[in-house]
Chains A and B, each alone.
Chain A
Amino acid sequence: MPILNDIKEILTGLSITFRHIFRKPVTVQFPEERRAMPERFRGSIVLTRDPDGAERCVACYLCSGACPVDCISMAAAEGENGRRYAAWFRINFSRCILCGLCAEACPTLAIQMSPEMFHCRRQVIDMVYEKEDLLIDGTGKDPNYNFYRHAGTGVVQPRGSGAGEQAPADPRSLLP
């Protein structure tokens, strides 16, 4: 009798669903409970510091150029010691798609993706993060890396005044 087999199957299904009623739900009650994200999760973007505590960012504009949605903008400046830094650095998170291309492009490992999740904002303008919002105190993913230790800081101001250095060429004088 196939019908008896069918009834048996239906009862088996019912017993399985009944057991699941008493099982612990897998739901995470989001705002109250938060799941720890994996280390390499692409959450919000941070600017890290080198092991000596100085800013890693050299304002090379590579992140800005790599960004597919053009959400990163900055202005480069040069310090007294010849180090380049960003005078201001701005990420518009309302446009950011968290693709991680900026972190891949960064030559000094300054810009990194953190596993931190975004908070919602009432106003769009609050989604625009300035340099002081982005800068963290830690070194991020590569704790021992220091760009200037590899590259040196043998640049002095004004250009060409260092030992064995020629004055920079004026490109206008090379024009035909």
Chain B
Amino acid sequence: MTWTATDIALMLGKIVLLYAIILTGAAYLVLAERRILGFIQDRIGPNRVGPLGLLQPLADVIKMLTKEDMIPTAADRLLFSLAPAMAAIPAILTFAIIPLGAPVQLFGRQVHLQIADLNVGVLFFMALSSIAVYGVALGGWASNSKYALLGSIRGLSQLISYELSMGLSLVPVVMLAKSLSLADIVNAQAEMPFIVYQPVAFAIFLVSILAECRRIPFDLPEAEGELVAGFHTEYSGMRFGLFFVGEYINIISLGSLASLFFLGGWRGPLLPPVLWFFIKVGLFSFLFIWVRGTLPRLRYDQLMHLGWKFLTPLALLNILVTGWWLALR
């Protein structure tokens, strides 16, 4: 396929638009989290900056950017400055394979609401979530501080353990859709979303993505009660901001992947497809915040126990049962 100038302009337009959507989305997710956590705790939350506090993300960004950027003297300067980007970039890159809606007709040509329809989309997502581990690991290592190191060690083992159950819980989805491409997976759910066939896989995936984006009850790498702030203890200013924004972009990207794999992505009655997609992602984001407002942090051995002794065998069993069912059908 040769690229014409229109193709390139279209692609650039899509990328810029997507960036705008996810960065605004992440910024307002922070506000939404603060407000909803406030309501859960019978408080109001930030409502002073602008109407209903809607300018709060802007104020936060200004605060982050104008804070002093500190690098500890004992830190590994190169890795220290590289790590926040390594945490945020994989989270943003995941959006390249996410279809936001049905293909639309625009100026007489078909436009896919997706940057790239990779035929190995699921593998690409798994690979990126593995690379995201490096941000945590190197951030903690390069800080040269014991809290950061402990946090990153925890983060490493947690992310690697839960990646396993996350990957295994996606195998039945791929078996049902007979494709690794995300557009095909959404198309395979035209009649029935996969959550109906795969409730167990959905539950495993949900728990795994909670662990994968290091949210309460799996926030052991950060664990502010024990490790100050875990792997990003030594970070300040916009470097911390990148870790922070990366976490929220991760929530959005993992929420959209959960809705793509199990809830039929942009498919839904009545409303336009893009709106359905945003509603589903919003529901997942709300779930993440809701869980954070409810559950306490797991102990380290409980975390490992849940991952290795429960979720992974259950996911394997689920693959076997799905294969059996597919063969006998």
Binding site for B on A (CB under 8 A): 3, 10, 13-14, 16-18, 20-27, 29
Contacts and interface: CB of A to CB of B under 8 A. Distances in A.
B42 A26 contact: yes
B39 A3 contact: no
A13 B43 CA distance: 18
Contacts of A21: 36, 39-40
B40 A20 contact: yes
B50 to A, nearest CB: 16
Contacts of A20: 39-42
Given A3-B310, A21-B36, A14 B42 contact: no
Contacts of B313: none
Contacts of B42: 20, 23-27
19 contacts: A10-B294, A14-B294, A17-B40, A17-B290, A17-B293, A17-B294, A20-B40, A20-B41, A21-B36, A21-B39, A23-B39, A23-B42, A25-B38, A25-B39, A25-B43, A26-B42, A27-B42, A27-B43, A27-B44
A14 B290 contact: yes
A26 B43 contact: yes
A27 B44 CA distance: 7
B196 interface: no
Count class of interface residues, chain B: 10 to 19
B128 interface: no
Given A16-B294, A20-B39, A21-B40, 15 more contacts: A3-B310, A10-B294, A13-B294, A14-B291, A14-B294, A17-B40, A17-B290, A18-B290, A22-B39, A25-B39, A25-B43, A26-B43, A27-B42, A27-B43, A29-B44
A159 to B, nearest CB: 63
Contacts of A27: 42-44
A16 B43 CA distance: 15
Contacts of A18: 290
Given A17-B290, A25-B44, A10 B295 contact: yes
B5 to A, nearest CB: 50
A7 to B, nearest CB: 9
A23 B39 CA distance: 8
A27 B39 CA distance: 10
Contacts of B290: 14, 17-18
A20 B39 CA distance: 7
Contacts of B38: 25
